[in-house]
Structure 1
Amino acid sequence: MKITFTFILLNLCIFISAQNDSINDKVISYDDKIILRLNLDTNVDDYVISSKELNIKPRLELNNQINTSFGLDYKIISATVSFAPHFFPGNNNNLKGKSSFTSYNFRFFPKNIIQTLSYKNSKGYYISNTQDFVSNWQKGKDPYLTFPNLRIQSFGGSTSYIFNKDFSLKAIYYQKEWQKKSSGSFIPSLNYEYLIFSDNQNSVKSREHQLNLSFDAGYYYNYVITKHINIAPFAFAGLGKKWSSYKSDVTKDEREKQNYFTQNFGAGIHLGYNSERLFFGSKFNYSGNHYDDNGSNILQNNFYVLLFFGYRLDPPSKVKKVYEKFQDKIPVL
């Protein structure tokens, strides 16, 4: 984990030393505004395991269908916190066990680079295709097979570079800008993630550590339909490397170590409305990660719909003064 954090911080130090480029006349900047954002999404990971020896594929999912995120942006800094409220329909199905989910994201925008750092914590999974494992199982009546103690923690980040200075990825994902004319860009991304899987089944504890590194190449296009409406499709694909270390009470002090090559892919589309103050829209995203583990194909799917609503307001004078003081001491802000 220390290696991962060092790697991430090293990337951040390299890129944060550069200040933002001045915005050209093809992009409107809202960096001088405080941006408040509310997201509702179905961004829940699921894991599918297929084996050459078995005809059934267990599918692990969280007992959450809707997540809520609150975001706050000002100047070069952007932060978001996400969680899954239990009072939302689909987040409290008693037959699927208890689940919890939280995530924190921080973003920085030096020059043509977008730097993201994140932490995710999820616990409590169930097998959504329990009918393949339990005979006479009835959906809606019988409980699902569950892993209530399965916990997945993720420490990660990504560094993306935008080749076309007339294209604004911040206008699509963070609403920190608005693009006046249609434009697209090739965007490569370096992704890094450190995961900890831990479980306790029948008093048998197990833990797995994973380090994932990948490089994706994607293309994004922002089609500006009117002065206030845009549509932005995108697609990406890439390759990576995964290192895994597994230990349980059964293996005692022995660790099972493996490494794999991974394939990453995804696509999506953004629909948005923007004005000087108010903005809202939706996103449809799909991403996948695939690798082979000694004859078993592991596929992590992530398809979700996101609705976002936001408002920009002028910062209070005290906030501006405090930021200016920090900016005097830390010029990159």
Structure 2
Amino acid sequence: MLFSCIFYAKCQTDTTLVKSYSDQVMIRLNLDTNIEKYILSQGGKHIGNNKIDLSINNKTRTSISVDYRAISATLSFSPKFIPGNNEDDLKGKSSYTDLSFRFFPKRFIQTLYYKKVKGFYVENMKDIISDWQEAKDGYLQFPDLKVLSFGGTTSYVLNKNFSAKSIYTQSEWQKKSSGSWVPYLDYDVSFFTNTTNEVKSREVQYKIGGNMGYFYNWIIKDKVNIAPYLSVGLGGQFSSSREGNEPKENEQFLTLRMDGGLHIGYNSERFLFGGRMNFKTYTYQKNGEAVENNNLYGLLYIGYRFAPPKVVKNTYDKIQKKIPLL
């Protein structure tokens, strides 16, 4: 049904207010500081601090983005040669990889993603053990804890003269300051697996939520923009877990979520660069324990636009005839 809505959406954008670069191929190199973290807060008595922060070792990622017409694709990875990504002796090995695709049919924004994270450590050891010393004691590690996620979001921009592409992918440039409310639906399935003392555990989580956000794009002197946004939402989480040979447990939770950020960029006909800071968090209650999943990152990017090679243009045109969505 979601894709049916996308196929039949009818709307127009005022071209005098938005400049499109859809006929150009854009390649961007991105560098971002990624913090993937799970926070467990115990409601009852607890040894030391009542929170446990599980985080990954890899904090800095590089990614390459390619945009052409309605398609935007990004591949991310965490290279070991970047400082802060190679503290394996203290924090254990971590890996983080994601792949995302974003489509812009009319005023809809459709995002699909895949993410794989493995290797966590307890970041707040000092809060748990008062006389803990990093060099001497190291961090409690969960090297086999792995999270595999598949998901997406379906959004709709209410203001037809607001350019979401100018913020998300820089494949357009908004000539006049404007904002818009953006309702969206997010959904994903995540697989958690771990092995402790040769006992395997597995949990599958299904999440879906409805959200409302507001985006504003402030244009300064034609080539610079500042774009803040904030959204909140409610959702449901359905999980199925099993540890070793124990019976399977099924649970349902109400989730609260919030995300927001700030983008600052410079744009010209060929070159562009900028940065953004984003955060995303959701929380739910489980057996008297508050569970949070937080993601905070800052991004720097530099990009270049150029005319597409004929083979790329001709291939896209052939595919578009068969898939009008593109």
Q: Given the two structures, how large is their TM-score scaled by the length of structure 2?
A: 0.94
The answer to whether 1:36 aligns with 2:36 is no
Counterpart pick for 1:246 among 223, 237, 241 = 241
AA matched with 1:137: W
Q: Distance in 2 between matches of 1:276 and 1:232?
A: 20
The answer to whether 1:326 aligns with 2:319 is yes
Measure how far apart 1:38 and its partner are. Answer: 1.3
**Which aligned pairs between 1:1-333 and structure 2 lie closer than 5 A?**
10-16=1-7, 18=9, 21=12, 24-53=15-44, 54=46, 55-93=49-87, 94-134=89-129, 136-251=131-246, 254-333=247-326
Percent identity for Structure 1 against Structure 2:
48
Does the aligned pair in 2 maintain the 1:247–1:255 contact within 8 Å? Answer: yes
Does the aligned pair in 2 maintain the 1:17–1:332 contact within 8 Å? Answer: no
> Bigger CA drift: 297-306 or 275-284?
297-306
Measure how far apart 1:22 and its partner are. Answer: 5.6
Measure how far apart 1:299 and its partner are. Answer: 1.6
Measure how far apart 1:250 and its partner are. Answer: 4.6
Does the aligned pair in 1 maintain the 2:42–2:289 contact within 8 Å? Answer: yes
Does the aligned pair in 1 maintain the 2:75–2:100 contact within 8 Å? Answer: yes
AA matched with 2:32: D
**Alignment size in residue pairs:** 322
Does the aligned pair in 2 maintain the 1:12–1:115 contact within 8 Å? Answer: no
Q: Distance in 2 between matches of 1:22 and 1:301?
A: 35
AA matched with 1:266: D
Cα RMSD, aligned residues only: 1.6
Q: Distance in 1 between matches of 2:13 and 2:292?
A: 42
Q: Distance in 1 between matches of 2:276 and 2:75?
A: 18
> Bigger CA drift: 15-24 or 294-303?
15-24
Q: Distance in 2 between matches of 1:332 and 1:300?
A: 33
Measure how far apart 1:19 and its partner are. Answer: 7.8
Q: Distance in 2 between matches of 1:23 and 1:200?
A: 56
What are the Cα deviations for residues 67-92 of structure 1, in whole angstroms up to 9, with x where unaligned? 11111111111111111111111111
Measure how far apart 1:23 and its partner are. Answer: 5.4
Q: Distance in 2 between matches of 1:326 and 1:293?
A: 47
Distance 1:135 1:182, change over 3 A: closer
AA matched with 2:92: G
Q: Distance in 1 between matches of 2:135 and 2:3?
A: 48
Q: Distance in 2 between matches of 1:17 and 1:23?
A: 20
Does the aligned pair in 2 maintain the 1:20–1:110 contact within 8 Å? Answer: no
What are the Cα deviations for residues 206-249 of structure 1, in whole angstroms up to 9, with x where unaligned? 00000011111110100001110010111111111111111011
AA matched with 2:306: L
AA matched with 1:38: L
Measure how far apart 1:147 and its partner are. Answer: 0.3
Does the aligned pair in 2 maintain the 1:120–1:153 contact within 8 Å? Answer: yes
AA matched with 2:54: L
Measure how far apart 1:58 and its partner are. Answer: 0.7
Does the aligned pair in 1 maintain the 2:25–2:306 contact within 8 Å? Answer: yes
Distance 1:331 1:236, change over 3 A: closer
Measure how far apart 1:185 and its partner are. Answer: 0.2
What are the Cα deviations for residues 172-213 of structure 1, in whole angstroms up to 9, with x where unaligned? 111010000000000011000100000011100000000011
Structure 1, gaps ≥5 residues long? 1-9
Distance 1:198 1:34, change over 3 A: same
Measure how far apart 1:21 and its partner are. Answer: 4.2
SS in 1 for 2:137: coil
SS in 2 for 1:144: coil
Q: Distance in 1 between matches of 2:260 and 2:321?
A: 41
Q: Distance in 2 between matches of 1:280 and 1:141?
A: 43
